[in-house]
């Protein structure tokens, strides 16, 4: 705890003396970041309209397109490329990692220098009147040097069949239908999304609007974005690849409506995941189990400088325990966020994460660890439109779990933390 207090004091001194952003678009259209961002990376109304217009302005053909004698080719004069880099100093109340077999602490740290936390390369652009691409790749994510991870990577075709329909194909986050994690202001994540498994997937989304209601329906493999399998046929040995080894898919959808500037929506997902084995449900199987998720979201401005967002999810996992396919586990979670844009230099954010482990609370499995109760207070100080100093204090309100049979699962240590760093896009 002493280390957190020391870093807290150091942070206050630094701030006192220092009185997903896509810069490629700013370069192409020669506009400021504030055209689309109220405070990088948070989108404003202009940014949301830009996204709704398939990530382009109407005059995209008149700006930054190479002069080529081909009426069906629109190549940019310069490659559409941007970068985002983050680096932090972080202290946590109990910076220990517990061995999953023995329960003994394998690391013990007070202050961690986490820079670079990640380096992200982004690219997006219009390929035709209706087709847009977008992708980003992360280098050395969270200190993992020598790795490159591609997360968002998709094509989107708008005005499908000449009507208000858009089709997206590729890798994306299912949760982006509600609140995109990549454009949040706090460093702390939206934990309910991660724990429910509705982040990065491979699939397709069809979306549109009718009578003031925005709708979207999608299908994904349901196994994330890291799995792939070699496949060869007998005889001629024709090589191929599978991104998913079973025919089970996850279906999802959302309906949204805006009235008086307040946006609300309902979400549902029906899918599958592989059941777990072992006394603590830590083993893998190839047995499918059912996943049902229902959610409600609401967001909007309170004043011109103050807005909020709220998410609630109810999740049912049936058959997650491979020894009992009929046994269902219900748990719930969500978050409430508030952003206050004091001026163009200072933004303050509050994020409350809460997850109730529900039926897992009394189980002696790793899923006792679903429980979350934390509050984050974040200060963003903008030294430039595209660069900010970040200070965040996170309070962990969960009691440590001392009713487990050993220390290999459950909430074993308090996770309150203090973080200071830099976040820039260029």
Contact 304, 340 (CB under 8 A): no
Range of the domain at 260: 2-425
For residue 2, the model assigns a pLDDT of: 47
Report d(CA 120, CA 106) in Å as an integer. 30
* Pair type for strands 37-39 and 42-43: antiparallel
Average pLDDT over residues 106-127: 88
Average pLDDT over residues 387-411: 87
Half-sphere exposure of 423 (CA within 13 A, CB side): 24
Average pLDDT over residues 278-289: 90
Q: pLDDT: is 212 or 229 the higher one?
A: 212
For residue 233, the model assigns a pLDDT of: 65
- Domain count within the chain: 1
Whether 35 has a pLDDT exceeding 80, the answer reads: no
And the tokens for 270?
A: 């029906």
CATH number at residue 265: 2.40.160.10
| Structure confidence by residue, pLDDT tens digits, 289-316 | 999 999 999 999 999 999 999 999 999 9
Contact 182, 51 (CB under 8 A): no
When pLDDT is cut at 50, 70 and 90, the band that residue 77 belongs to is confident
Highest mean pLDDT among 14-28, 49-63, 267-281, 328-342: 328-342
Report d(CA 240, CA 232) in Å as an integer. 6
When pLDDT is cut at 50, 70 and 90, the band that residue 20 belongs to is low
Range scoring the smallest mean pLDDT among 54-68, 73-87, 308-322? 54-68
Whether 3 has a pLDDT exceeding 80, the answer reads: no
For residue 36, the model assigns a pLDDT of: 81
Q: Is 368 helix (H, G, I), strand (E, B) or coil?
A: helix
């Amino acid at each position: 705890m002493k280390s957190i207090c020391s870093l807290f004091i150091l942070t206050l001194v630094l701030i006192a003396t220092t009185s997903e952003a896509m810069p490629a678009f700013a370069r192409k259209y020669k506009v400021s970041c504030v055209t689309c961002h109220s405070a990088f990376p948070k989108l404003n109304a202009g940014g949301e309209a830009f996204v709704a217009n398939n990530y382009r302005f109407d005059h995209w053909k008149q700006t930054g397109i190479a002069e080529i004698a081909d009426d069906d080719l629109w190549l940019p004069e310069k490659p559409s490329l941007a970068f985002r880099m983050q680096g932090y100093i972080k202290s946590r109340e109990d910076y220990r990692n517990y061995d999953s077999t023995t329960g003994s602490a394998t690391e013990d740290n007070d202050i961690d220098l986490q820079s670079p936390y990640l380096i992200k390369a982004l690219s997006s652009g219009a390929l035709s009147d209706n087709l847009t691409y977008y992708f980003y790749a992360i280098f050395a994510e969270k200190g993992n040097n020598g790795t490159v991870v591609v997360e968002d990577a998709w094509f989107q075709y708008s005005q499908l069949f000449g009507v208000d329909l858009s089709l997206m194909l590729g890798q994306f986050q299912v949760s982006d239908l509600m609140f995109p994690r990549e454009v949040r202001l706090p460093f702390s994540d939206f934990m309910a999304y991660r724990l429910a498994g509705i982040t990065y997937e491979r699939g397709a989304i069809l979306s549109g609007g009718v009578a003031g209601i925005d709708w979207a329906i999608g299908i994904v493999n349901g196994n994330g974005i890291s799995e792939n399998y070699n496949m060869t046929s007998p005889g001629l040995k024709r090589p191929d690849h599978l991104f998913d080894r079973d025919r089970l898919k996850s279906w999802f959808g959302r309906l949204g409506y805006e009235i008086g500037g307040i946006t609300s929506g309902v979400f549902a997902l029906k899918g599958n995941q592989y059941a777990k084995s072992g006394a603590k449900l830590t083993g893998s199987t190839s047995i499918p189990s059912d996943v049902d998720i229902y959610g409600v979201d609401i967001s909007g401005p309170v004043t011109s400088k103050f807005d909020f967002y709220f998410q609630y999810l109810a999740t049912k996992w049936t058959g997650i325990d491979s020894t009992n396919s009929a046994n269902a586990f219900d748990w719930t979670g969500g978050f409430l966020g508030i952003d206050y844009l004091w001026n163009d230099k200072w933004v303050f954010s509050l994020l409350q994460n809460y997850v109730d482990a529900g039926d897992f609370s009394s189980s002696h499995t790793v899923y006792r660890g679903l429980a979350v109760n934390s509050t984050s207070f974040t200060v963003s100080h903008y030294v430039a439109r595209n660069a900010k100093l970040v200070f965040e204090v996170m309070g962990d309100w969960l009691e440590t779990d001392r009713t487990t049979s050993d220390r290999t699962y459950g909430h074993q240590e308090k996770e309150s933390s203090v973080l200071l760093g830099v976040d820039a896009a260029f």
